Amino acid sequence: MKACIFDLDGVLVDTAKYHFIAWQRLANNLQVDFTEHDNEQLKGLSRDASLDYILKKGKISASSSEKEVWKEQKNNWYLELVNTMQENEVLPNCKELLSDLKSNGIKIGLGSASKNAALILTRVNIKHYFDVIIDGTVTSISKPNPEVFLLGAKVLDLQPNECIVFEDAINGVIAAKAGGFKTIGIGEKEVLTEADLVFPDLSSLNFEMLNRIV
Ligand code: BG6
Ligand code: MG
């Protein structure tokens, strides 16, 4: 293990609940029903792919300018929520784990679909831990494509099998596995079926045990 590459939303911070509120608000405005199950499908997908999912569900065809307006609307609602985030909204053991990995010489990367990633890392004060940040501003293909993680490994000058990816979304787990990464699912085993190992959250993880189990 030479590097750990973390997804952001749902792994390091609990922003999945804010994405859910904002997408549900948009979907309902468009007369489309939006459930927890739908939200699960959207985890890890880009903003574009998420809107396409909702439009497909509602059998809505839209022009590209309408799509731009709706994506901006959703993002504004999302940012209203994100801008209230406090430093303590990192998930349990997040800072302790990042700090432990760093002090043991492990490189730390971010592999997120979000275009708001840098803003969120700054808000919760963890940006300084990262050696590389690959996010939705630099990727062109949404998870489950492995691009985001492969770019991270490339910048770190490492092979995928030298890096562990941490993911809470099935699309992200599939992406990491497709890229040849060891993959730790964060969430439920029943959902993250393709992951090498699954933990409910980061709370039991540290350098010593990760080094031993991977
Ligand atoms: C992912 C989330 O991390 O980022 C998705 O899991 C989200 O739910 C995607 O749609 C894009 O985020 P943003 O912040 O660019 O709209
Ligand atoms: Mg996620």
Distance of CA 180 to the CA centre of its chain: 18
- Which residues participate in catalysis according to the annotation? 7, 9
Return the closest-CA partner of residue 47 out of 86, 81, 77, 84. Answer: 77
CB 178 within 8 A of CB 70: no
Q: Which ligand is nearest to the CA of 46?
A: 1
Residues with CB under 6 A from ligand 1: 8-9, 19, 42-47, 50, 75, 112-116, 136, 169
- Candidate of 18, 47, 149 to mutate for ligand 1, largest count of ligand atoms within 8 Å of Cβ: 47
This prediction has a pTM of: 0.94
Cα Rg for the chain, rounded, in angstroms? Answer: 17
Percent of the chain topping pLDDT 90: 97
**Which tens digits make up the pLDDT trace of 16-36?**
899 999 999 999 999 999 999
Q: What is the pLDDT of residue 105?
A: 98
Q: What is the pLDDT of residue 186?
A: 97
For ligand 1, the distance from its centroid to the CA atom of residue 47, given in whole angstroms, is: 6
Read off the pLDDT band of 1 (50, 70, 90).
Answer: very high
Atom of ligand 1 minimally distant from the CA of 112: 3
For the residues 94-98, what does the mean pLDDT come to?
Answer: 98
pLDDT at residue 214 tops 90: no
- Candidate of 21, 45, 83 to mutate for ligand 1, largest count of ligand atoms within 8 Å of Cβ: 45
Residue nearest to atom 13 of ligand 1 (CA): 114
Atom of ligand 1 minimally distant from the CA of 10: 6
For ligand 1, the distance from its centroid to the CA atom of residue 208, given in whole angstroms, is: 31
Q: What is the pLDDT of residue 90?
A: 96
Q: What is the pLDDT of residue 40?
A: 87
**Which tens digits make up the pLDDT trace of 134-190?**
999 999 999 999 999 999 999 999 999 999 999 999 999 999 999 999 999 999 999
Orientation angle between helical segments 64-82 and 16-29, nearest 10 degrees: 140
Atom of ligand 1 minimally distant from the CA of 169: 6
Q: Which residues pair with 184 in a beta bridge?
A: 166, 197
| Mean of pLDDT over the chain | 96
pLDDT at residue 77 tops 90: yes
Residue 172 tokens, joined? 């992200």
Q: What is the pLDDT of residue 91?
A: 97
For the residues 92-107, what does the mean pLDDT come to?
Answer: 98
